[in-house]
Amino acid sequence: MIIREKLFSKGMWTRQPSLSDVLEGHRQRTIHSIKSINNLDQLNEGFLTGIVKVSLVEPLAFNFAAMTFATRTEQIPGDWFPQFEFDVMRGRCYPKTVARISIPFTGNRDLLEYTPNQSTMNYPIGARPARINSEVG
């Protein structure tokens, strides 16, 4: 299988910041801009609106119900195949089935470039439900 796309092209495997690093940097820059206020007269509605607007990151939301799928046959260059592929010569093209999958989404498209760092990701933590006394008295 050959995947030619920029999806998750930045992150720990490329020695670049991961998604959590990018989001933490954005949060730190927002906090720094707030802490750099040295005059309370700067805290007017326009300034605060600007800080809130810049600090928001629109999350990705995928619409899998509207996903489309199409296949076609294309001539794929032998250079695109892994080196361990048998019977593939560099400089030649081979007919291969190509699948195009399109999933509409909303949100900040730049987030698609960054790999989520699973080793430092914080998973959602829910409150433990209160223990119910099951004894009948």
**What pLDDT score does 126 carry?**
42
Check if the beta carbon of residue 23 is closer than 8 Å to that of residue 57: yes
Over residues 16-23, mean pLDDT:
81
- Residues 102, 100: Cα–Cα separation, whole Å: 6
Kindly tell me if the per-residue pLDDT of 121 is higher than 70: no
Higher model confidence: residue 71 or residue 81?
A: 71
Higher model confidence: residue 80 or residue 67?
A: 67
Give the residue extent of every domain in the chain: 12-113
